Amino acid sequence: MRRRDFLLHGAAAGAALANAPAFAQAPKTVSLWHIYNNDSDMIHLGIRKFHEAQTDYRIEQRLVPYVQINPELIRAIATGSPPDLVTINDPDLASYSSQGQFTDLTDRVAASKVIDVNKYFKGPQTSDRWKGRQYSVAREVNTLSLYYNVDMFRAKGLDPDKPPTTWSELAAAAEKLADPAKGVYGLGFAAQQSEQSTFQWLPWLWQAGGSIDKLDQPEAAEALGFWADLVQRKLTSRDVINQPQGDVMSAFLAGNSAMVVNGPWELPRFRREVKFEWRVTLLPVKDGRNIRASSLGGFHFAIPKGAKEVDGAFRVIEAMSDPALFREGWSASGLLAPRSDIEIADPAWPQAYAVFREQMKTAIQRGPHPQWSQLSRPIQTAIQEALTGTKPAAQALKEAAAKIQPILARTPL
Amino acid sequence: MSERSPLLYVFLLVPVGYLVSLIGFPILYNLVMSLQEVNLGNIDTLWRPFLGLQNYRDALADPTFRKVFVNTLVFVSANVIGQVGIGCLVAVAFTRDFAGAHFLRGLLLAAWLLPALVVGTVWKWLFATQSGVINYFLASLGLIASPVHWLSDPSMAMTALNIAHIWFGMPFSMILIAAALTSIPDELYEAAALDGAGVLARFRFVTLPAISPALLAVACLVTISSLRAFDVIFAMTHGGPLDSTNVLPLFSYQASFQDFDFGHGAAIGMFAFVIVFAVALLYVRLAYREQEL
Amino acid sequence: MRHRAPPGWAARHWPALIAWAGVAIYLFPIYWMIVSGFKTQAEIFADPPTLIPHDPTLEAFHYVLVRENILRYLRNSVMIALPVTVITVCLAAIGAYAMSRLRTRLVDAALIAVLLLQVFPEALLATPVFIIFKSIGLVNTIPAVVLATSTRSLAFALVILRPMFRQVPIELEEASRVDGCTTLQTFLQIVVPLMRVPLMVVAAITFAQAYGQFVYPLTLLSSHELQPGTVGIYGFIGAEVSDWHRVMAFASLFVLPILALFLLLQNKIVSGITAGALK
């Protein structure tokens, strides 16, 4: 069914229910701006169920292209006409909440019978908060793990039941799997000059024992050096510095990359495009360190300041936290529930599901920091400098640290 | 004596007034923002901390900004020379009558009619190091020993971007120059040929002077549209690698909509004004001079 | 004595051959776009690249035509582009005519102002433009988009038409004035017909630019039904996953009507040329 049909269907159902009791009020409208252009995304099921379950509110949804959600919200705020409910990307949350542009939801969440904060994974719990108060509710989460091509493993004499678990094993496997004559690279990751490269690199930084406020320390240099080394040895294509995660996955599906670091949102593509056996495994840890960490991504619901229907919007948030939605969320979009107590029985891609859920336990949020973009950009530059060989990793990171220190001094992470 | 009918003044002021009212305010808005500290907290009010020229000073002190500014100049120059130069040559080439000449000329426009997002993406695929058709052809023709890192080498990326963007804009210049070429009377060419002028001489002494006002106008327009170029670059390289293809509009967008530092973004946008003011002055001066002749 | 081989077919037709070959090479990226619409997403990124799809599929085109209803997007794009063209050509014609006849500093200032007003990237103009239309209550209407988009091509049209208007001989106007016509009549009955070809070229280009307009419709139109194709194409580009084969299928179909229009207009321009623009 197309998006519009969902609306009409919901309206008809709402109208039918509204006609029954004689003293029913006209439903109030909750405007919802979201980015889900996939017709089978769970948000449409959520809207339908919301309309069927009650008659006080009707959702009026607006689909905003993903790259435009921030500019559109900003324009709405600037003209004093924000939507009631909006979906915002994880690292951007603190920028809005620290400036008071999101409604404080702490008390509502505490009183809610549907939302139990303690059941949420640690990552989204942290990014939903700013200075002890909660300003958003995670809708879905995702993280990064390692995909690998089982057929290629077998072809090169590697055991697919024993995928790499440490960095050295990973590098060794990449070396075995790389086949320049056939245009096959061992490992792929995204290093495009955008938030994507930061998102992809942070797990390595954390697993090395480093942190964003200590980029000038050897741990960070080791993490970036590992990436640079793979590129230099041609086990990873140099083109990764121009590739977002979608392109990296395309290379995997086309058989040009034996292993890739990527997230579960790519899984729906596997239905039509994959022609080989594949599996997912946890991100390999650094030898000797054994710190398991991965990145956290996903969108959150927030109620902008000045929204007209705050109560209605919150009820929508509660409705969207219905566990029944997440089965569709997973199989249609590869999105994980932000709560550890929701587990889908018999999911699509069960092996991948188990691994990603396990990885979620160690998924760390970016920030939260109101100037996250200004922390991320020097990191992106350092990554690009190291991967192109313009500067050695340690020096690139030192310069990045110099740019980041003043920002962190003003507002620590 | 030239007519100074009052209607002419009305004719002049209506379109200009229309533009001023619809664009003047937005520019003023950005100008005011560039003098203030504007963030997500105060975007909805007009009263924000006044910073004077601090945003501009910060921009000038930023080495990335200087790189972006230079990139912008390089990008604009390459595009003007490329689009107008090649457009002129192609337009002249198509004045010869041969089978399907006009149909082919129209077909070239297909490049310019594509959405910018598609242009950027397709060229990104074409220039891909491993899976790109350009390297594939260059290698099969034996012209390169190993794949060229068009988009993953900071020193090559701008070249690749220029190729893509010139490809995108050339048909526009070509069709305008072609329209200007139609107004040159055939007698001039015949007279020149009788005087013994060859192809190149006819081009230099008949064609070029006749279309130079149009060439100037097209060059001016390409300058302005290159200064505004955003979507192709965003789709193709995101400004990377290492900001080697980052230009003023994209840098300004990053400051405003990624860093949420709107005053800073507005100030960066204002720097494009500097370039265009110089170009506009130059254009008017040159156009005015030819008016005197 | 000069010895020349009798001219063969190739010697006679080499300009055409070179032209056809040149255009074919030039348009290769377009071929790539169209062919990508017939591939699966994975094949688009295959190394080595496949010039002919290995498993061609109509899935992307089918999706775009049936599920995304590209025809509605095309209709909206035209509904925006047509009024924009009319407004722009009318305003540009009178403005360029005035600029070509008046020789004062005012014209210079006006020209500089017009050019300066064009410089700003739309991404930065979008927010204040949104504020303007919100305050007059025109947000989410086609007229708002038309008015905003008309500013885009107006400067270009003025700059292009001004030198061409100047080529209309002043004697013709003076003659008509002597005959007792007003300035307006002279303009409409003498000058404009002579400027048929340039005006048509400007109209075609304005239409194409308005057809390809993206930022203003995105900002000013929140309603799905009103959005033109340039906004619709972003519907395939999601937060993490994008359906590039559908983007290419959409773009291939999107560009067809406007390309057809231009190819048709080529013939008009040809007849304009052979009839003589300024006889």
ipTM score? 0.87
Q: Where exactly are the structural domains of chain A?
A: 3-138+299-334, 145-296+367-410
- DSSP category for residue C187: I
B137-175 pLDDT, tens digit per residue, is: 999 998 888 889 999 899 999 999 999 999 999 998 998
* B129 alpha-carbon distance from chain centroid: 27
Residue B221 C-alpha, separation from nearest chain A C-alpha, in angstroms? 28
CA dihedral angle for residue A98, residue A100, residue A101, residue A107, rounded to 10 degrees: 100
pLDDT, mean of residues C4-8:
58
pLDDT of residue B4: 65
Gyration radius (Cα) of chain B, Å:
23
pTM tops 0.90, yes or no? no
Domain covering A145-296+367-410: architecture: 3-Layer(aba) Sandwich (3.40)
**For A25-69, what is each residue's pLDDT tens digit?**
788 999 999 998 888 889 999 999 999 999 999 999 998 888 889
Q: What percent of chain C has pLDDT over 90?
A: 22
Taking an 8 Å cut-off on Cβ atoms, the answer to whether C45 and A63 are in contact is: no
Scanning the structure block, which residue is given the tokens 């995204």?
A190
Question: Which pairs count as long-range contacts for A396-402, CB under 8 Å and 24+ apart, including other chains?
Answer: A396/A224, A397/A215, A397/A216, A397/A220, A397/A221, A397/A224, A398/A215, A398/A216, A400/A215, A401/A214, A401/A215, A401/A216, A402/A216
- Asked, as a colleague might, if the bond just before A71 is cis with ω within 30 of 0, I would say no
| pLDDT for the residue A309 | 93
How far apart are the CA of C3 and the nearest CA of chain B, in angstroms? 21
**Phi (first) and psi of residue A349, to 5 degrees:** 45, 65
Residue B139 CB contacts under 8 Å (≥ 6 apart), including other chains: B147
| Chain centre to alpha carbon of residue A76 | 25
Burial C207-244 (b: 16+ CB within 10 A, else e): bbbbbbbbbbbbbbbbebebbbbbbbbbbbbbbbbbbb
Token pair listed for B152: 């993953």
Spatial separation of the C-alpha atoms in residues A294 and B10, rounded to whole Å: 66
pLDDT, mean of residues A276-292 = 94
Mean pLDDT, residues A116-133: 92
Among A171-185, B88-102, C102-116, top mean pLDDT goes to A171-185
Which tens digits make up the pLDDT trace of C173-198?
A: 888 888 888 878 888 888 888 888 88
List, in order of start, the domains of chain C with CATH numbers. 59-275 (1.10.3720.10)
A373 touches A197 (CB < 8 A):
no
Per-residue confidence (pLDDT) for residue C270, from 0 to 100 = 52
Options 3.40.50.720, 3.90.1480.20, 3.20.20.80, 3.40.190.10; which CATH number does A3-138+299-334 get? 3.40.190.10
Contact flag A99-B40 (C-beta cutoff 8 Å): yes
Q: Please name the chains neighbouring B, where neighbouring means 3+ C-beta pairs under 8 angstroms.
A: A, C
| Angle subtended at Cα A62 by Cα A70 and Cα C233, rounded to the nearest 5 degrees | 80
Q: Which residues of A335-349 are buried (b: 16+ CB within 10 A; e: fewer)?
A: bbbbbeebebeebbb
Answer whether C91 touches A (CB < 8 Å). no
Please answer yes or no on whether B102 and C170 come within 8 Å at the CB atom.
no
| Local structure of residue C53 (DSSP, 8 states) | -
Residues of chain A contacting C238 with CB distance shorter than 8 Å: 35-38, 66
**How far is B151 from A79, CA to CA, in rounded Å?**
40
The confidence score (pLDDT) of residue A174 equals 96
Which residue reads 């496997």 in tokens? A173
Calculate how close chain A gets to B148, using CA atoms only, in Å: 10
pLDDT confidence bin for C4, thresholds 50/70/90: low
**Please, are residues A257 and A185 in contact by the beta-carbon 8 Å criterion?**
yes
With CA atoms as reference, report the closest residue to A319 among A29, A110, A113, A36. Answer: A113
Q: List the single residue in C43, C231, C242 with the smallest CB-CB distance to A246.
A: C242
Separation of alpha carbons A108 and B9, rounded Å: 63
DSSP C167: T
Contact B122 C98 (CB under 8 A): no
- To the nearest whole angstrom, how far is the Cα of A79 from the nearest Cα of chain C? 6
At residue C231, does pLDDT exceed 90?
A: no
pLDDT at C95: 92
Average per-residue pLDDT for chain C:
83
- Amino acid found at A382: A
Q: Are strands A294-295 and A363-364 parallel, antiparallel or unpaired?
A: parallel
Residue C10 — very low, low, confident or very high, per pLDDT cuts 50/70/90? Answer: low
Q: Which residues in chain C have Cβ-Cβ distances shorter than 8 Å to A89?
A: 239
Contact, A208 vs B203, CB < 8 A? no
Task: Please tell me the distance from the alpha carbon of residue A37 to that of residue A299, in angstroms, as a whole number.
Answer: 14
Instruction: Calculate mean pLDDT across residues B8-33.
Output: 89
Provide the number of CB pairs (under 8 Å) joining chain A to chain C.
94
Instruction: Indicate yes or no: CB of B217 within 8 angstroms of CB of C159.
Output: yes
**HEC assignment per residue over A385-413:** HHHHCCCCHHHHHHHHHHHHHHHHHHCCC
Q: Does A402 touch chain B (CB under 8 A)?
A: no
Q: Do B115 and C132 touch (CB under 8 A)?
A: no
At residue C276, the pLDDT reads: 42
Residue for token pair 């710190």: A291
Q: Which CATH number applies to B57-292?
A: 1.10.3720.10
As a whole number, mean pLDDT of residues A91-96 equals: 94
Taking residues B102-113, what's their average pLDDT?
86
Q: What's the CA gap between A171 and A177, in Å, rounded? A: 10
**Mapping DSSP to helix (H, G, I), strand (E, B) and coil, where does residue C30 land?**
helix
Q: Whole-angstrom Cα distance, residue A259 to residue A252?
A: 7
| DSSP structural state of residue A84 | S
C11-61 residue pLDDT tens: 677 778 888 899 999 999 999 999 999 998 878 888 788 888 888 889 889
CB atoms within 10 A of CB A118: 8
Nearest CB to A66 within list C46, C130, C237: C237
What gap in Å lies between CA B276 and CA B250, rounded to an integer?
A: 17
